[in-house]
Amino acid sequence: MMTSLIGNRAGQRLGNYQLKRLVGRGGFAEVYLGEHVYLQTLTAVKVLSIQLTQEDQAGFLNEARTIAHLKHPNILSLLEFGVQEGVPFLVMDYAPHGSLREHYRQQTNLTPIKVLPHIKQIATALQYAHQEHTIHRDIKPENILLGPNGEALLSDFGMALGTQSSRTQDMQEIAGTVAYMAPELLQGRPTPASDQYALGIVLYEWLSGNTPFHGSFTEIASQHLLAQPPAIQAPSVSPEVEAVIMRALAKKPEERFENILAFAEAFEQAALEVDETFKAATGWMPPGVLQQIKTAPSIERQPTLRENTPQPASTRPSTAHQKLPSTKIVRGRKVLSRGLGIALIILALLVATSGIALAAFSFNAGRSNNNPQRGTQAQPQVQANAAIWQNTYTRVTSQKPFFSDPLSRNTNGWDNAAAKTRSCLFADGAYHASSLTPYALALCGSSKLPDNLSNIGYQVQMNILQGDEGGLVFRVTLPSSTQVRAYVFSINRHGTYDLWVINGHYKTLLYRSSKAIHTGLNKPNLLCVIAQGSQIALYINKQYVASVIDTSATTGALGLFARGLPSTTDVAFSKLTVWRL
């Protein structure tokens, strides 16, 4: 039989690894920061809090060998394993950025768009493991770690190796796991669909702020077996997204998706349905934003995007003689993004010094469930003839620019100050837009750029030094004190890009991944938008990625921005160029 062994082993040596300090403790094991005694490389050493019999040692070693053969970009590598004086241990890659339990905190309503990249990464890793005939059996936020580029890394395969066959397992030890356990797993019959159920619980928790079932171990287990999960009461969750999650949480494995990758793909499709992404009631704002409005100071004594007197739209003849390719229009509905809600609020703060009362700002936060407003807005379609758009980029960027700025120092009246939640500052030869608190957005502009730019090519190099996301804004206008219009083109370090539009309401025009993006931190990316009339084309690192037709905003100012959801973010910008078309 196995006996429990709980204690601090810092300073001890297991195999070729010196245990430096305790970094975590759970019901099954303790995790130490370890160092290879010869290579001096840092690792994570998981020491199981049990002592195995000879019979149990054989089972542990067999399972560990199976898991050690799993090689996938989203699975934490098992480097070494063994049993020393009856105590089993595992040596894994060290993930210094912690787990998604720390990154996505409980009681926080995340949006489907926000968690989509990690859900896809986890599902891809699990699909690979299932094809290798391995079931994880312990999917929960604590067992999903963050890699060096923010990618999800699955750890702890096998739900504490060597313990499941134990005749002495204490049910209290899995109290933290039971919230995610599929009915058949509780009955001792795990299948690959058990991992799908657990990932469905994780997704339910991220979107609603909590797991569906609560109580003692017995009460939670009983609810898994008999009770239906409560409806997800979160404004960011459409009926389509909720239906996908509920199917993954079906009591019978055969009633779930065919496999876990099919679950992730169905979730992606539902999340990216532009006309069903958000079902917020009018006036809804993300938690904490109202307090942010009341307390966040504006960036004072600096010109803002709207401090200059608006000029008439340019009547200069267009220099673009080549006809731009057409883009199909598809009809759809209004939609709100939490991030763009914050963008409007911060833009309101930036223009507050212009005498526009902050209290006057109100906005339509999407559709109500009883008034879908079908067919009111144009939706995008990828331009089939990418070659024509690529040629357009070459033609536009070969012209003499209307405005250029290396952004190495402030020679063109850029915002250059810091506030409590955000900053726009020149440092280290670049222009930094920084979101200094979670959910804040830094929007930076120049007083020397006109605020009536319409047909333009607009390009800038950006480098995410810390955090999540950054990009450019264009056609920013305030036609009245109750509305703002703007387009926002951004990329994040995980490899996706967005095009949003604000026009009294908020709409996702595009949300896609692209191999053109250099992922990770400290990786420069060149963003460019070519806007002429209603046609807008997007380019990343000189490569055409998508085009849309939209008439929400026709003219306005330019800017740069960074936002953190939920991390603080610092984006360095350089090599800004504008062409008039």
56 is catalytic: no
Q: How far is CA 524 from CA 56, 151, 356, 496, in A?
A: 51, 18, 37, 15
CB 208 within 8 A of CB 237: yes
CA atoms of 257 and 199, how far apart (whole Å): 12
Instruction: Indicate the pairing of strand 557-563 with strand 469-480.
Output: antiparallel
Helix (H, G, I), strand (E, B), or coil: what is residue 233? coil
CA atoms of 499 and 521, how far apart (whole Å): 21
- Burial of 428 by CB count in 10 Å (0-12 exposed, 13-18 middle, 19+ buried)? exposed
Q: Which of 56, 93, 138, 275 is catalytic?
A: 138
- Burial of 216 by CB count in 10 Å (0-12 exposed, 13-18 middle, 19+ buried)? exposed
Which residues carry a binding-site annotation for ATP?
Answer: 46
Radius of gyration of the chain (CA): 26
- Burial of 315 by CB count in 10 Å (0-12 exposed, 13-18 middle, 19+ buried)? exposed
CA atoms of 461 and 416, how far apart (whole Å): 19
Helix (H, G, I), strand (E, B), or coil: what is residue 70? coil
CA atoms of 283 and 280, how far apart (whole Å): 8
Provide the token pair at 354.
């212009």
DSSP structure class, residue 74:
T
CA atoms of 141 and 156, how far apart (whole Å): 11
CA atoms of 231 and 227, how far apart (whole Å): 12
Provide the token pair at 497.
């890009």
DSSP structure class, residue 226:
H
Distance of alpha carbon 70 from the chain centroid: 26
Provide the token pair at 235.
């404004």
Provide the token pair at 142.
């604590």
At 294, phi and psi to the nearest 5?
-75, -25
The separation between the first and the last C-alpha atoms of the chain, rounded to the nearest angstrom, is 78
Q: How far is CA 432 from CA 492, 495, 537, in A?
A: 16, 21, 25
Provide the token pair at 439.
């959910």
What residues act catalytically?
A: 138
